[in-house]
């Protein structure tokens, strides 16, 4: 794991004061290059690997606090010290954090050793900062200075924050398209952080997903990743992407993992895309994948080996982040009847208790829950609502509806029932689930009993963002967007009256804006994921007003 240090703050060169509230403005997509270029100016082209030391993988920050933030980079001390190689001596790196881009007002600095044992990645856990304040940071190694990054602390725990705004992304397959969504998020000046809901990398061999003889852009290594060296190299290759570097340099990133950070459809004891007889012990693969993740991501683990943790934005919002892979039981087969088994879990007992306790104790108005897979129940076919319960009994399927994807909460209905009952029994309002994984965009109410909705209660709401690049319906079928899928959308909405909107074809990102009055998700879509210069446009907006537990359409984006 990367060296993790808490800084000893140096005396500031000039007195520091709390910054005044920033004006929330948005840079238009056409200005992306102008914004991203200054921040990434220190990033070296691929051929610069011949020079050393070098910062070839950009800079990043994450897991902000009112008084601190985690800074990250990776140094290449010698040309041969490529990710996963194990080559290169331990190397001292200096980090600096300032109030201004020119670093005339440095407020904190320190040194950390980039060790070969941690793949020469660096983490500095800086404390003693001012709440709700922008800072700039960089790293220095010998004669080389990294790109400049910008980060932002959260409001004080007792602050009545007027608003918080996140970029929201999920599912970025390097070979399936360009990371234009990251470029457009990097162009915005109005975000407090970017929330990544999982599938930051994919584990497949080149051409393995989606299965194709030709890939848009080849990843490294070319084979399926299994070992620590493999996972390090895959992470390192992703972080050579200019758009990915730009979003990390511009905003703090708050990340959780899903399955592809290890292997497809992962659970606590295995994965669909893992064969023990030929690919070794699954526990060894998980250990390697998690070590590489914590080395290469700006994540501060709350508990060793997991990513579930909580980040607070004053009295406005608590962000509860879940790990839905490390503790879950194996996925049940459709028709087995096991999806309703109370002894099966997606969260694990300790994490579910942690979440319930955090929701009960929260002093924030909004309870945001980052969940890598969809919690809303989903039935298929135009089946009348009053027939879903009996049909489920006959077929041995979830009593709340017919499961389509047992990898989601639909495959673990007792955990969902317990969590939603906790929300309603305790009168916990304004809970919003933020979700990725499914490569589609959704806006849902989260019903206690889907079969009788809307005559039964809604316990929460859910906003699901589509993929950055990973294939969705039109990609898989090879058809024009919004043609074949319209029939499927109509059938799903007919059988799931809690689903207010569904886009099965687009790629893009979300902007979540939270105020005391409402939480609103603006959905933005890309013109073409295979175009490195893809444009982005607003598609839809949905919001939930405080105290309602209902989703409604909004006429316009928040910015």
pLDDT at 337: 77
**The dihedral sign for the CA sequence 323, 327, 332, 337:** negative
Cα–Cα dist 454/456, whole Å: 5
Helix, strand, coil share of the chain (percent; to 5): 25, 25, 50
Q: Where in the chain is the domain with CATH 2.60.40.380?
A: 1-153
Regions of the chain where pLDDT drops below 70: 1-50, 302-303, 334-335, 380-404
CB atoms within 10 A of CB 89: 11
Instruction: Tell the CATH topology of 1-153.
Output: Immunoglobulin-like (2.60.40)
pLDDT at 13: 32
Tell how strand 270-271 and strand 266-267 pair up: antiparallel
- Give φ, ψ of 502 to 5 degrees: -150, 130
pLDDT at 381: 57
Q: How confident is the model over 15-31, as pLDDT tens digits? A: 333 333 332 333 223 23
Q: Where in the chain is the domain with CATH 3.60.21.70?
A: 154-553
Question: Which helix (H) or strand (E) segment is 245 a member of?
Answer: helix 242-250
Q: How confident is the model over 230-267, as pLDDT tens digits? A: 999 999 999 999 999 999 999 999 999 999 999 999 99
Tell how strand 518-526 and strand 536-545 pair up: antiparallel
Residue 421, CA distances (Å) to 2, 278, 329, 414, 449 in order: 40, 43, 21, 10, 11
pLDDT at 421: 97
Q: Where are the beta strands (DSSP E) in 13-171?
A: 59-62, 69-74, 91-98, 106-114, 121-126, 134-141, 144-145, 149-152, 164-169
Bridge partners of residue 134, in order along the sequence: 152
Q: What is the CA radius of gyration of the chain?
A: 23
User: Using CB atoms within 10 A of its CB, is residue 47 exposed (0-12), middle (13-18) or buried (19+)?
Assistant: exposed
First to last CA, the chain: 39
Indicate the CATH number of 154-553 among 3.10.20.30, 3.40.50.2300, 3.60.21.70, 1.20.1260.120.
3.60.21.70
pTM: 0.89
pLDDT at 383: 45
pLDDT at 49: 52
pLDDT at 36: 38
Instruction: Report the mean per-residue pLDDT for the chain.
Output: 88
pLDDT at 512: 98
């Amino acid at each position: 794991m990367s060296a993790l240090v808490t800084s000893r703050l140096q005396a500031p060169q000039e007195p520091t004061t709390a910054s005044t509230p920033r004006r929330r403005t948005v840079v238009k997509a056409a200005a992306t290059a102008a914004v991203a270029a200054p921040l990434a100016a220190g990033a070296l082209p691929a051929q610069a690997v011949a020079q050393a030391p070098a910062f070839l993988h950009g800079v990043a920050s994450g897991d902000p606090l009112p008084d601190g933030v985690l800074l990250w980079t990776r140094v290449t001390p010698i040309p041969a010290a490529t990710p996963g190689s194990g080559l290169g001596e331990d190397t001292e790196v200096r980090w600096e954090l300032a109030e201004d881009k020119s670093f005339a007002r440095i407020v904190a600095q320190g040194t950390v050793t980039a060790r070969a044992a941690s793949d020469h990645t660096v983490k500095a856990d800086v404390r003693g900062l001012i709440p709700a304040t922008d800072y700039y940071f960089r790293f220095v190694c010998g004669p080389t200075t990294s790109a400049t990054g910008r980060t932002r602390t959260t409001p004080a725990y007792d602050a009545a924050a007027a608003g918080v705004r996140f970029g929201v992304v999920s599912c970025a397959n390097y070979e399936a398209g360009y990371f234009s969504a990251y470029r457009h998020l990097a162009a915005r000046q109005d975000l407090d952080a970017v929330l990544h809901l999982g599938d930051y990398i994919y584990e497949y061999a080149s051409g393995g997903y989606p299965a194709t003889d030709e890939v848009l852009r080849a990843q490294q290594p070319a084979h399926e990743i299994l070992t620590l060296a493999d996972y390090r190299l895959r992470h390192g290759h992703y972080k050579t992407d200019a758009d990915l570097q730009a979003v990390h340099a511009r905003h703090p990133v708050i990340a959780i993992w899903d399955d592809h950070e290890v292997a497809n459809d992962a659970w606590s004891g295995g994965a669909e895309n893992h064969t023990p007889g030929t690919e070794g012990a699954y526990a060894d693969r998980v250990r390697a994948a998690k070590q590489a993740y914590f080395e290469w991501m700006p994540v501060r683990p709350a508990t060793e080996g997991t990513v579930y943790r909580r980040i607070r934005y004053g009295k406005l919002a608590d962000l509860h982040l879940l790990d839905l892979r490390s503790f879950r039981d194996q996925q049940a087969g459709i028709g087995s009847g096991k999806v309703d088994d109370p002894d099966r879990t997606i969260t694990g007992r300790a994490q579910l208790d942690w979440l319930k306790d955090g929701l009960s104790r929260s002093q924030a108005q909004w309870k945001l829950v980052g969940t890598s897979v969809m919690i809303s129940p989903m039935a298929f076919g135009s089946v009348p609502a009053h027939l879903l319960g009996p049909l489920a009994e006959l077929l041995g399927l979830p009593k709340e509806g017919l499961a389509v994807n047992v990898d989601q909460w639909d495959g673990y209905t007792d955990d969902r029932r317990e969590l939603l009952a906790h929300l309603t029994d305790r009168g916990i309002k304004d809970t919003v689930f933020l979700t990725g994984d499914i490569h589609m965009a959704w806006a849902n109410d989260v019903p206690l009993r889907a079969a009788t909705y809307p005559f039964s209660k809604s316990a929460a709401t859910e906003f699901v963002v589509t993929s950055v690049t990973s294939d969705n319906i039109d990609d898989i079928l090879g058809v024009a967007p919004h043609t074949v899928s319209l029939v499927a959308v109509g059938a799903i909405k007919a059988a799931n009256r809690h689903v207010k909107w569904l886009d099965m074809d687009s790629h893009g990102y979300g902007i979540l804006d939270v105020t005391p009055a409402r939480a609103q998700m603006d959905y933005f879509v890309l013109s073409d994921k295979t175009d490195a210069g893809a444009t982005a446009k607003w598609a839809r907006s949905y919001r939930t007003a405080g105290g309602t537990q209902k989703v409604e359409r909004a006429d316009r984006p928040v910015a």
